[in-house]
Structure 1
Amino acid sequence: MTATTAQTASVSVEYIRYRVPADRTADFLAAYTRAAPHLAASPHCVDYELTRCEEAPGHHILRITWTSTADHLEGFRESGLFPGFLAEIRPYIEHIEEMRHYAPTPVRGKGAAIPSLYDWAGGADAFSRLTTAFYDKVRKDDLLAPVFAGLAPEHAEHVALWLAEVFGGPPEYSRTRGGHTHMVAKHRGRGITEPQRRRWVNLIQDAADEAGLPTDAEFRSAFMAYVEWGTRLAVYFSGPDARPPAEQPVPRWSWGAVLPYEG
């Protein structure tokens, strides 16, 4: 299985709404603190969060993202982790007002409170400088020049659009070129080797320095996480046994550890 088949489409979000008497809220939070490791240890649990209402402090909502509803009901609840979890929260079951599973919808997004990697990098100009510097290095590199021989003059511009969209910029690559499957097709049959991939990674880092991309640890770690993911897929899809992926959108990368097709 490759990263392109990460199971994100079938996730199920469980919401459990509690109304806990004021004199029991401290014990309630303590019980969930003890129960949480059982959730965290489950391979079916993606994440979880317990929130408390500011206007009505007795109201709490537990959100648990499961890999699927079936994985919750037939996986976690039938596993050895469930009895320990249940033992901690059993005294508060009587305070549950709702316990249901919800499926994600396409209506979602991120606000402007946290800048995208695209904005943090400096926008379209930054990615244009990056690919210009990178392909200038590629053309002079004995290991990579043969791989990129014969590329169209506008190739660097297309890759700049791709990277800009990946890191949170406008969907110009999708609009003018296509999605992830289109990019994958550009690598079919090229037989990219691991030494060539490593050289690509090194040169893109050098180009990022030359282009003046941010050097803070948070940005560079996210940037390089995508570079590693993308170049390893490129090696796979350039090989003789690779199967072309189903039609997929351009991945969207963000700060921290994320799944590229999350949602």
Structure 2
Amino acid sequence: MVTEYIRYRLPAEREGGFVAAYERAAEALRAAPECVDFELSRCAEEPACFILRITWTSVEAHLQGFRGGPVFGAFFQAIRPYVADIEEMRHYEATTVRGVGGAAPPSLYDWAGGTEAFVKLCDAFYRLVKADELLSPLFESMDADHARYVALWIAEVFGGPPAYSEQRGGYGPMVERHLGRGITEPQRRRWVNLMMDAADEVGLPQDPEFRAAFASYLEWGTRLALHNSQPGADVVRSAPMPKWGWGVAPPYQG
């Protein structure tokens, strides 16, 4: 993904209709498959200055897909009167410098107790799996470190360090491990139920907010694994690591 920043400086007599124009243009952005999200901000110190931030799936998707697509005409028509007021229009790629400040809510990873909590969770879970007649056949050839890898996966997804990506390759290799497994819906449901039992056993936080986020991830992840494991499934093999917070993650699209 790449972020485009468009900086405007408007004369006082032209400020009035600017936000309204972008409210109209926003309909085109919402309809554009190349657009991830967007936000228009106004400078507190200099109210005549605005910044539009648009996250695109790639530079090419913006310049070729969006600009050559069916909704660009409506977008440009809405903002055409303000093109001459643009001071900067460039794409930026994220660096490794990122994080959250003290005012941000804790990640699910921190709230749960860090990597150690997820290691305990997965150790308890796979002990239950080995004794379960419905799930144990799926894990007969399980690697001795499988539980630890799953713990690292969940930890990273919930906001922890990128240990799974560094040690196991991230999303793509995880998907490959599910291909052709032929997981059934009863097995998927049992997987979720045993994971919730393991969460109770090891004492993961019981508050409704955490458990709701935890349960929603289990549903999302197991349904994706179920789909990917079927013969002939249309599988998204390359995607970013999912990032789960106190809401939900967006769907992957092929």
Same fold (TM over 0.5): yes
Q: How does 1:15-26 map to 2 (within 5 A)?
A: 15-26=5-16
Shift in Å, 1:45: 1.8
Residues 119 and 37 (structure 1), Cα distance of their counterparts in 2 relative to 1, 3 Å cut: same
Comparing 68-77 with 35-44, greater Cα deviation is found at 68-77
5+ residue gaps in structure 1?
1-10
- 2:242 and 2:249 in contact (8 A); partners too: no
- Which letter does structure 2 place at the counterpart of 1:14? E
The answer to whether the Cα contact below 8 Å between 1:48 and 1:65 also exists between their aligned partners in 2 is: yes
Return the match for 2:93 from 97, 101, 104: 104
1:15-57, Cα deviation, whole Å (9 max, x unpaired): 2110012343332122222322222122222111111122222
String of CA shifts for 1:202-227, please: whole Å, max 9, x gaps.
22123223333234555344434443
Deviations 1:173-209 (A, max 9, x none): 4555554455456556644333212211222123223
Q: Percent identity?
A: 56
Match of 2:51 in 1: 61
- Structure 1 CA distance, aligned partners of 2:84 and 2:236? 48
Partner amino acid for 1:254? W
Over 3 Å counting, the alpha-carbon distance change for 1:67 and 1:151 in structure 2 is: closer
Structure with the larger RCO, 1 or 2 (CA within 8 Å, 6+ apart): 1
Assess if the C-alpha contact under 8 Å between 1:116 and 1:168 holds in 2: yes
The code of the aligned residue for 1:25 comes to E
The gaps in structure 2 that reach 5 residues or longer are none
Q: In the alignment, residue 104 of structure 1 is paired with which amino acid?
A: E
Q: Give the alignment partner of residue 151 of structure 2, picking from 160, 163, 170.
A: 160
Output the amino acid matched with 1:129.
Answer: K
- Structure 1 counterpart SS, 2:137: coil
Partner secondary structure for residue 16 of structure 2: helix
TM-score, normalised with respect to structure 1 = 0.75
Aligned to 2:71: 81
Whether the 8 Å CA contact 2:217–2:248 is kept in 1: the answer is no
Q: Shift of residue 260 of structure 1?
A: 9.0
The alignment's C-alpha RMSD in Å is: 3.4
TM-score under structure 2 length normalisation: 0.77
Query: Whole-Å Cα distance in 2 between the matches of residues 44 and 153 of structure 1?
Result: 42
Greater shift after overlay, 35-44 or 166-175?
A: 166-175
> Quick one: structure 1 residues 252 and 72, their matched pair in 2 at CA, closer, same or farther if it must change by over 3 Å?
closer
Greater shift, 59-68 or 75-84, is seen at 75-84
Change (3 A) 1:178 1:50: closer
Distance 2:49 2:33 in 1: 29
* Total equivalences in the alignment: 249
